[in-house]
Amino acid sequence: MLRLLFMPYVAIEVICAYFFISEYGFLPLVLEVIATAVLGMFFMFQVGFFQLISRIVFLKPSDVFGVLGMPIGGFFLFIPGVATDVLGVVVIIFALFSNLKNQPLKKEREGEYYSYRRESRETKEEDGEIIDVEVVEEERKYK
């Protein structure tokens, strides 16, 4: 099954590389591959690539452009080739819009104008417990 998918992938990458080289040259292609590999590593490990591997069993189609969109897009950017770089950028853009859409906006009234503030899950009200801490210093005797 993978052989059937690998040959069309290689053909598409060769065609895209040919058009890229004919338009911009060979050195920009090499620089593009290196730059997108570094950027792909950043996106993969920003969310956690190992988290992606552990969640791959429970992967739903909505997660590809949602929570796991950044590491999947980073993986596509990491693979050398122009076509996979374009696919990786598209997945990352959809993931960014999906993540921005799912964050709630909170309105605060300030004078006559409204300001919008993003409310994260960590900033919700906590218990308000006070923990009393006492620091005890002891003298050490060296022999």
3-state per-residue secondary structure call for 73-118: HHHHHHCCCHHHHHHHHHHHHHHHHHHHHHCCEEEEEECCEEEEEE
Residue 81 lies in a domain: yes
Q: Which residue has the tokens 């920003």?
A: 46
Q: What's the maximum distance between 2 C-alpha atoms anywhere in the chain?
A: 77
Number of domains in the chain: 1
- The answer as to whether 97 is a domain residue is yes
Residue 60 lies in a domain: yes
Out of 36-40, 114-118, 124-128, 134-138, give the one with best mean pLDDT.
36-40
Give me the pLDDT at residue 26, please: 93
Quote the percentage of the chain above a pLDDT of 70: 56
- Mind listing the pLDDT tens digit for each residue in 35-85? 999 999 888 887 666 666 666 666 666 666 666 778 888 889 999 999 999
Q: Tell me the per-residue pLDDT of 95-123, one tens digit each, with 9 for 90 and over.
A: 888 777 766 555 544 445 455 555 544 54
Residue 22 lies in a domain: yes
**66 near 32, Cβ under 8 Å?**
no
Task: Evaluate whether residue 58 is within a structural domain.
Answer: yes
d(CA 70, CA 68): 6
pLDDT number for residue 57: 65
Termini Cα distance of the chain: 73
Average pLDDT, stretch 14-18?
Answer: 93
Inside any domain, residue 39 = yes
Range of the domain at 32: 2-102
Q: Is residue 73 part of a domain?
A: yes
Tell me the C-alpha distance between 105 and 122, whole Å: 15
Reported pTM: 0.61
Is the pLDDT confidence value at 23 over 60?
yes
Collapsed DSSP state (helix, strand, coil) of residue 126: coil
| pLDDT value for 4 | 81
* Banded pLDDT at 29 (limits 50, 70, 90): very high
Residue 118 falls inside a structural domain: no
